[in-house]
Amino acid sequence: MKKGIQELSEVTVRFAGDSGDGMQLTGTQFSNTSALAGNDISTLPDYPAEIRAPVGTTYGVSGFQLHFSDSDIHTPGDAPDILVAMNPASLKVNLNSLKPGATIIVNINSFDEKNFKLCHYDSNPLEDGTLSGYHVVEVPLSKLTAEALKDSGLKPKEVARSKNFFALGLMYWLYSRPIKPTIKWIETKFKNNQKIINANKAALEAGYYFGDNTTLFSTRYKVNPAKLPKGTYRSIEGNEALALGLVAASVKTGLPLFLGSYPITPASSILHELSKHKRFGVRTFQAEDEIAAVTATIGAAFAGALAVTTTSGPGLALKAEAVGLGVMAELPIIIVNVQRGGPSTGLPTKTEQSDLLQAMYGRSGEAPVVIISASTPTDCYDVSLEAARIATKYMVPVLYMTDGYIANGSEPWRIPNPDDIPDMKVKFRTDPENFQPYSRNENLTRPWAIPGTPGLEHRIGGLEKENITGDVNYEPENHEYMVRLRAEKVKNVENDIPDLKVEGDPDADILMIGWGGTYGAITDAVNNVNEKGKKVAQAHFRYLNPFPKNTEEVLKKYKYIICPELNMGQLSFLIKSRYLIEIDSFTKIQGQPFKSSELEEKIKKVLGGMNNG
């Protein structure tokens, strides 16, 4: 049966099922295929902290949201147009977030009394009116998969595991995507198990052809390629981009990359990624704990490595004392903090921006470090390079903030030419003539003199020291001098970073400021408001300590400043106390990113108030 194809400009899809249903895999495949098809994409994996939470329960639901479009997009979409619900629990969890009138594809085979009970549905939501207003498509996914695989020689349990490929195949058909890339992926991924390859391929194809043959769908859809800037692209997640940026920084500084890390969600995949890159001489050290991870990093920095440690909020807390040593010893280390919901263990797999004040102040004594942040998955690559440049140029710890949202999210990346990266070659001190470990250049940077260099033997450490000689010194004036000197050194970095840039409508009265992973949602909201003829501007901070030099000048130009953050107003706090200006702190602490509509609403409300007032 030939069906019509309708063109759409953008679609938001959400796959949802049990943690064991393979939803992350399904979502990732759909994303990669969409990216290959030339769409702009943005993704939001959303999964529970438990690896295999009890099946059928709401807390075991794992979701993957994907926004794909024929134009430039910045967020994974506010509300899905279509939900694939593998079981009642995943329907229950996701129903509220759907667009009105959204399509819901349900695996009808899982809609039984047992599963209703597990997720506390009193009656069948397909029949009791819960879904009125939605376009529900009931597909016997489990049964059809079992039929397609009846000759596969697999046990029923293994057959059941392939049903996500059936769902994926069906979605490929519905959105007119090729199935080839996924077939290729299946063939490499399961190359040691021909049975599984055959089964997954069969399920995928069965899903695809089911779409063609069933009467359940009358139309197919198509999203044309986006008009992205010319270049070679790949789809990339934030943590992967961050890791590649570190490898690039290692090549460009000429320093071997050392990563000291202890596994922690959502930072672990950086460790996984870097442990693959032995061809670049990357040394990964999986430490016994967070403290060992950062202190080994300090040791490696002392001995001349591009030294990095990666963690999330609770790990950063454990590293605090060692970062203080890095400040005192003036060694170049990069501490990556992929933020998650806190405090304590908090929400390990959910995103938040609540470690900014910890990054700024979470150490004993006056211990300033440089703080920079990445704003999108692909931006993580650039910020890695920048972190390495600043750390090695200023002999200073750099705290590099990302968050779970951009770490796990992916988007198309126009692959940059590494030859265009400015020179960052590091020169160690080798001349013993007049060597002093704490002498300083015009940036107040001390020499990097690594063990193994004849004539440069010297001692450094955590005790207060005298400038230039580095000798231990407890004199009152000396301590004050050194504290101020270390602070000035960090502040000096402001002379070496770009100005804060304003985007959106430059004539606006309202400025929306942000930092980190909220960039996409803010950009969308600001663009939408401007497109509707109202005026709003935005400025996004990459550098949080020191702030760009023109920060005050920019902020003072606007009548009203809104600062959305996924915390209780930490950037607002820093800016208010530094520049003594009013900020409307707009916050959300739900472990979920902002929706651009939430920010749009906020802007409209403020605009409305201004017009009335």
Partner 1 sequence: MAENMTIDEVNLKPKDFSSSQDVRWCPGCGDYSILAQMQKVSPELGVKKENFVWVSGIGCASRFPYYMDTFGLHSIHGRAPTIATGIKVQNPELSVWVATGDGDTLSIGGNHFIHACRRNIGIKIILFNNRIYGLTKGQYSPTSEKGKVTNSSPYGSIDYPFEPTALAIGAGATFVARTIDREPKHLKEMIRHANSHAGTVFLEVYQNCNIFNDGTFFVLTDKETKFDKVLKLEHDKPMVFGKENNKGIILDGFTPRVVDLTNGKYSLDDLWIHDERDLHASRAYMLTQFAEFENLPTPIGVFRRIDKSTYEQDLHQQINDVIEKEGEGNLKDLLFSGNTWEVN
Q: Interface residues for partner 1 in 111-140 (CB under 8 A)?
A: none
Residue 527, CA distances (Å) to 78, 123, 273, 540 in order: 15, 43, 35, 14
Smaller CB separation from partner 1, 49 or 320: 320
Q: Give Cβ neighbours of residue 594 (< 8 Å, ≥ 6 apart).
A: 518, 521, 522, 564, 566, 588
Q: Compute the least distance from the CB of residue 488 to partner 1, in Å.
A: 24
On whether the CB atoms of residues 169 and 213 are closer than 8 A, the answer is no
Alpha-helical segments (H) within 267-354: 268-276, 290-302, 313-329
Q: How far apart are CA 31 and CA 35, in angstroms?
A: 6
User: Could you say whether residue 229 binds partner 1 (CB under 8 A)?
Assistant: yes
Q: Which of 272, 429, 458, 576 binds partner 1 (CB under 8 A)?
A: 458
| CA distances from residue 499 to 387, 406, 563, 571, 582 in whole angstroms, order as listed | 17, 23, 19, 18, 21
> Among the candidate windows 92-100, 159-167, 340-348, 412-420, which touches partner 1 by CB under 8 A?
412-420
- Single out the residue of 467, 493, 462 nearest to residue 482, CA to CA: 467
95 makes contact with partner 1 (CB under 8 A): no
CA dihedral 338, 339, 345, 348 (to 10 degrees): -70
576: exposed, middle or buried (C-beta count within 10 Å: 0-12, 13-18, 19+)? middle
The distance of closest approach from Cβ of residue 463 to partner 1 in the complex, given in angstroms and rounded to an integer, is: 7
In angstroms, the Cα distances linking 22 to 68, 175, 264, 278 are 21, 20, 22, 30
Among 450, 485, 487, 497, binds partner 1 (CB under 8 A): 450
Q: Which residue has the tokens 């607002």?
A: 572
**108 binds partner 1 per the rule CB under 8 A:** no
113 vs 40, 87, 109, 275, 565, CA distance in Å?
41, 12, 11, 46, 42
| x-marked contacts with partner 1 along 305-324 as a string, rule CB under 8 A | x-x-------------xx-x
Which helix (H) or strand (E) is 412 found in, with range?
A: strand 410-414
Judged by CB, which is closer to partner 1: 308, or 500?
Answer: 308
170 to 209: interface string for partner 1, x by CB under 8 A: -----------x----------------------------
How far apart are the C-alpha atoms of 33 and 583, rounded to whole Å? 42
Q: Sheet harboring 537-541: ordered strands across? A: 502-504, 537-541, 510-515, 560-565, 584-587
Which residues between 17 and 36 bind partner 1 (CB under 8 A)? 32, 35-36
157, 279, 427, 532: residue in contact with partner 1 (rule CB under 8 A): 279
| Using rule CB under 8 A, residue 416 touches partner 1 | yes
Cβ neighbours for 465, distance < 8 A, ≥ 6 positions apart: 328, 438, 471, 472, 473, 482
Taking the least distance from each CB to partner 1, the nearer of 49 and 456 is: 456
Rounded-to-10 torsion of CA 167, 171, 174, 177: -130
416, two tokens: 């940059």
Contact (Cβ atoms closer than 8 angstroms) between residue 374 and residue 383 = yes
Residues 222 and 175 sit within 8 Å (Cβ to Cβ): yes
Contact between 300 and partner 1 by CB under 8 A: the answer reads yes
Element (H, E) at 372: strand 370-373
419 binds partner 1 (CB under 8 A): yes
Binding mask 492-521 for partner 1 (x = CB under 8 A): ------------------------------
Does position 281 bind partner 1 by CB under 8 A? yes
Closest approach of Cβ 81 to partner 1, in Å? 24
25 or 291, CB closer to partner 1?
291
Hey, CA dihedral for 100, 106, 111, 116, is it positive or negative? negative
Stretch that binds partner 1, among 187-195, 230-238, 341-349, 563-571 (CB under 8 A): 230-238
Whole-number Å distance between alpha carbons of 76 and 64:
10
Residue 429 in the binding site for partner 1 (CB under 8 A): no
Listed ranges 76-84, 393-401, 456-464, 558-566: which one lies at the site for partner 1 (CB under 8 A) = 456-464
Nearer to partner 1, 304 or 315 (CB): 304
What is the chain's alpha carbon radius of gyration, rounded to the nearest angstrom? 26
Task: Specify the DSSP class assigned to residue 566.
Answer: S
Choice between 457 and 499, CB closer to partner 1: 457
Rule CB under 8 A: choose which of 134, 190, 209, 233 binds partner 1.
Answer: 233
Q: Which of residues 578-607 bind partner 1 (CB under 8 A)?
A: none
- For partner 1, give the closer residue by CB, 285 or 515: 285
455 binding partner 1? (CB under 8 A): yes
Q: Cα(69)–Cα(73) distance, rounded to whole angstroms?
A: 7
329 binds partner 1 (CB under 8 A): yes
Residues 200 and 188: their CA atoms lie apart, in Å, by 12
Among 22, 56, 76, 260, binds partner 1 (CB under 8 A): 260
319 vs 602, beta carbon nearer partner 1: 319
Q: Point out which span in 264-272, 289-297, 354-362, 508-516 binds partner 1 (CB under 8 A).
A: 289-297
Q: Are strands 398-403 and 410-414 parallel, antiparallel or unpaired?
A: unpaired
Decide if residue 468 touches partner 1 (CB under 8 A).
no
Stretch that binds partner 1, among 14-22, 300-308, 479-487, 554-562 (CB under 8 A): 300-308
Size of the site for partner 1 (CB under 8 A): 74
- Using CB atoms within 10 A of its CB, is residue 236 exposed (0-12), middle (13-18) or buried (19+)? buried
Position 482 contacts partner 1 (CB under 8 A): no
Q: Does 575 bind partner 1 (CB under 8 A)?
A: no
Residue of 204, 292, 360, 490 interacting with partner 1 (CB under 8 A): 292
Name which position in 170, 325, 369, 385 contacts partner 1 (CB under 8 A).
Answer: 325
Neighbours of 519 (CB within 10 A): 23
Q: Does 285 bind partner 1 (CB under 8 A)?
A: yes
Stretch that binds partner 1, among 119-127, 241-249, 310-318, 370-378 (CB under 8 A): 241-249
DSSP letter at 445 equals P
Residues 37-66 that bind partner 1 (CB under 8 A): 38
In angstroms, what is the minimal distance from the CB of 397 to partner 1? Answer: 14
Name the minimum Å distance from CB 232 to partner 1.
Answer: 5
Nearer to partner 1, 214 or 453 (CB): 453
Q: Pick from 5, 216, 463, 610: which binds partner 1 (CB under 8 A)?
A: 463
Query: Does 471 contact partner 1 by CB under 8 A?
Result: yes
